[in-house]
Structure 1
Amino acid sequence: VTPRDTEVHFRTERSKPRLGCMLVGWGGNNGSTVTAALLANKMNMSWHTKEGEKRANFYGSLTQASTTCLGTGPDGRDIYIPFMDMLPMVDPGEIAVDGWDICSDDLAVAMEKAAVLNWNLQQKLKPHLKKLQPRASIYRKDFIAANQEANTERFCSVEKGLNDTADVLLNSIKRNAAEVSASTLFAVASILEGCSFVNGSPQNTFVPGVIDLAEQKGVPISGDDFKSGQTKVKSVLVDFLVNAGIKPVSIVSYNHLGNNDGMNLSAPKQFCSKEISKSNVVDDMSNKILYPDGKKPDHCFNKETFLLTSYSIRTLLFLGYSTCKNPLGISTYYI
């Protein structure tokens, strides 16, 4: 290997473009929660709980609540600034949100059904969310899940003549092939419109034909499950251990879920998508020194449904929670 230095000059556009975000499953728990959070912060809302007054914030957001190292000062100390001040970024309150759902409820009804946000906050948001109605979505019963963003479809088959190339996939869509999933249809539509597509679910939305089409059109696509909770913690811990020269040989985890995600994952085909995604999350971190035989950590993921737990996860995130509701953790990933 020969080191090479290349001096690069680049200029960042200072003007901030308008940004729109369309959510597949907008009327679900995550879609209604992220929309409510954007509105609550835009309107600087506050509400009362038994612990006192709470005020909307962006805790948990990478762009709005984290810092980055700008450089070193004259005294040799690192200087950190808010991430959002490093580059011109769109104000989250100015994001235009829209989307689709197989349920026709407006966002106010969806928020109430989700039962994620404090009741007093819901009452303040209700008049604003009542005006927001999801567009009619794609209904494919064989792939159906509780909600699409950050939830789970079953894996679809990857077959030659079905979805192995862009042209083959487009032909499969034209003839309404049953094994083309709804998430793949949305991804293809987004690419054809020249819009970036982010997949927040663990199923194989990006079949070879979708990747081929995105490369042909020059459209960015990304995402393989948001991994916002337990999986994120495991990723951080394993990365720390491996970088310290410690070899994890086995990881066994349990998810206790009482929400729609839990009920959705009770279906074997849907659970398979999640199991593959979670089990493989630590594989990329293993190195050839600790694992010379090419083996990976023995990683087992289990899921049990307990209705009483609902969405509860202990953490501290935006909108004033010390007991995190699962959609709150996922919503910060959007922002």
Structure 2
Amino acid sequence: MDEDDGSIAPSMLYAYAAIMEGGALRERCPELSADIPVLEQLSIERGVPIGGKDFKTGPTLMKTILAPGFKTRMLGLSGWFSTNILGNRDGEVLDDPESFKTKEESKLSVLEQILQPNMYPELYGDMYHKVRINYYPPRGDNKEGLGQHRHLRMVGLSHADKD
């Protein structure tokens, strides 16, 4: 760090500073800044916890709350749509399809990990899952998240909810 090494990301410096100051480190986005052996060891030596990889909010949080309940009750899902509306720099960056690709993959994987469509193909095998992030500059730093899911009741009737 003293040599200003370009391979050290600013987020790693933040993690280092937080650990050195004794402040618990809680990752709020799905990144791996503190997932390097030297920072993990430093946190152990200083007794500073490092927690989480993602401080879920909005539609992703709702998926992690609702999907386990659907699975436990064996309620099938035909689809889930979610979108975030961002007006800040995050929204501008994610408006680029290449930049959005990694974020989309991580957001799409949430339901697959919870529902396990390969184990329950009759309930989730044909589920349509769409994730979008929309850049809308007037929104500023005020993120808005919207979601809709359609689940199939046991008697074959369809029901839609918005979260």
TM-score between both structures, scaled by the size of structure 2: 0.62
Number of matched pairs: 139
Correspondence for 2:114: 285
> Does residue 208 in structure 1 map to residue 36 in structure 2?
yes
**Aligned with residue 266 of structure 1, among 95, 112, 116:** 95
Q: Percent identity?
A: 27
Which residue does 2:151 correspond to in 1? Answer: none
The counterpart of 2:8, out of the listed 162, 171, 180, is: 180
Tell me which residue corresponds to 1:55.
Answer: none
Instruction: State whether residues 197 and 222 of structure 1, in contact with CA within 8 Å, keep that contact through their aligned partners in structure 2.
Output: yes
Structure number with higher relative contact order (C-alpha < 8 Å, ≥ 6 residues apart): 2
| 1:241 corresponds to which of 51, 60, 70 | 70
1:304 corresponds in structure 2 to 134
8 Å CA contact 1:253–1:301 kept in 2: the answer is: yes
2:25 matched to which residue of 1? 197
2-structure distance, mates of 1:233, 1:284: 15
* Shift of residue 233, structure 1, vs aligned partner: 1.7
- For residues 185 and 220 of structure 1, what CA distance do their matches in structure 2 show? 16
Is the 2:18–2:24 contact (alpha carbons within 8 Å) kept by the matching residues of 1? yes
Number of the residue aligned with 2:152: none
2:57 is aligned to 228
User: Does the residue aligned with 2:84 lie in a helix, a strand or coil?
Assistant: strand
Question: How big is each residue's C-alpha offset from its partner over 1:243-283, in whole Å with a ceiling of 9 and x where there is no partner?
Answer: 21235476443333334431232356753553344233335
Task: Describe the shift of the 1:205–1:273 C-alpha distance in structure 2 as closer, same or farther (beyond 3 A).
Answer: farther
Change (3 A) 1:272 1:218: farther
Tell whether the 8 Å contact from 1:203 to 1:273 is kept in structure 2 after alignment: no
Contact 1:245 1:290 in 2 (8 A): no
* TM-aligned CA distance change 1:204 to 1:267, over 3 Å: farther
Deviation readout 1:152-180 (Å, 9 max, x if unpaired): xxxxxxxxxxxxxxxxxxxxx34432132
Report the aligned-residue RMSD.
3.5
Q: How does 1:55-204 map to 2 (within 5 A)?
A: 173-204=1-32
Which runs of 4 or more aligned residues in structure 1 lie more than 6 Å from their structure 2 counterparts after TM superposition? Answer: none
Give the match for residue 256 of structure 1.
85
In structure 1, stretches of 5+ residues that fail to align are 1-172, 316-335
Q: Which runs of 5+ in 2 are unaligned?
A: 147-163
Residue identity matched to 1:199: E
Q: Please tell me whether Structure 1 or Structure 2 has the larger radius of gyration of its CA atoms.
A: 1
- Asked if 2 retains the 8 angstrom alpha-carbon contact of 1:202 and 1:273, the reply is no
- Partners of 1:262 and 1:305 within 8 A in 2: yes
Question: What SS does structure 1 have at the residue aligned with 2:22?
Answer: coil
Return the letter of the residue paired with 1:244. Answer: R
In 2, the alpha carbon distance for the partners of 1:312 and 1:186 equals: 24
How far 1:238 sits from its partner (Å)?
A: 1.3
Change beyond 3 A, Cα 1:187–1:299: farther
